[in-house]
Amino acid sequence: MTVHFDLIARGFQFVEAPRVDDEGTVYFSDLTAGGYYRVEPGRGVETVLADRMWIGGAVLDQDGSILLSGKGGLVRVDPATGGCRPVLSEIDGTPIIAVNDIEADDRGGIFGGTIDFGAVFDRGEAPCGGQLFYLSGTEQLRILRDGLTASNGLGFSPDGRLLYHSESSQGVWVYSLGEDGMPGRPEMFARLEDSDGLVVDSEGGIWVACWRSAQIIRYRPDGILDRRITLPFPHIVSLCFGGIDLTDLYVATGGNTEHPGVGGIVRIKSEVPGLRAWKCRFRCSL
């Protein structure tokens, strides 16, 4: 199935971390070329934070700042000034190579995953195992899983009782969340070798960006695949919902050595509205 799409931004290498704020500003990163960017309604692309590498995830904070993943861990940036401060740079005394996708929960903290982008991009090697973690709004860290191949997209079911987690080369895991908001044992929801980012809609459908096949696929909550969308880009990387009625699906695309500079953001219409993403609430200001 092919669909009409609107081009929001183009000319980048490997676009990641799409987010849309309450005013309709679209934010995104260029994972391999560096930087974090925005497109305000009626305006062109502007730089929010130059040069930061490997930004794979972003979460809006209730105070207006943005929590960004990337090389060396997590930082908070003020989109108005570009001011930036580190939030998480090590785990148990070991420096973080990179954090990839992150997602806020209803308690104001975030789930996220570390990833060995140094092996992937700098040395051309298989990455060392990463960790799935939870960071509370008071910046207390809890490690949830070790040995992940490549931690990617995260999303919650509409009732907030399930957490979906994409692990590239493995598939999409699902976790039941306890009364404390923490996940139990993971169960394989969908085996999928090239799963990347994901987002969940208001019917509980799980939309998955498929990096290698350059498709977007949607699973029903019962695990049945019911939609497959192909877009004319080498890679489909990440997804988020936006717009007044949350029927705008924003898609981050990426290029490669054979197709440089085709990374960007496109927007397609979804028949099913998305869910409004939670914002984090970190107490320490910039």
Residue 224's pLDDT band (cuts 50, 70, 90)? very high
Give the contacts of 123 (CB within 8 A, at least 6 positions apart). none
Q: Look at residue 285 in the predicted model and tell me its pLDDT.
A: 61
* CB 57 within 8 Å of CB 16: yes
List the structure tokens of 216: 């977007």
List the structure tokens of 235: 């890679």
Of 84, 80, 87, the residue nearest 109 (C-alpha): 87
Q: How far apart are CA 101 and CA 16, in angstroms?
A: 9
Q: Look at residue 79 in the predicted model and tell me its pLDDT.
A: 96
CA angle 165, 224, 16 (to 5 degrees): 35
Q: How far apart are CA 251 and CA 100, in angstroms?
A: 17
- Decide if domain 6-269 falls under CATH 2.120.10.30: yes
pLDDT at 60 over 70: yes
Percent of the chain surpassing pLDDT 90 = 89
pLDDT at 286 over 90: no
Domains in the chain: boundaries: 6-269
Q: Look at residue 123 in the predicted model and tell me its pLDDT.
A: 79
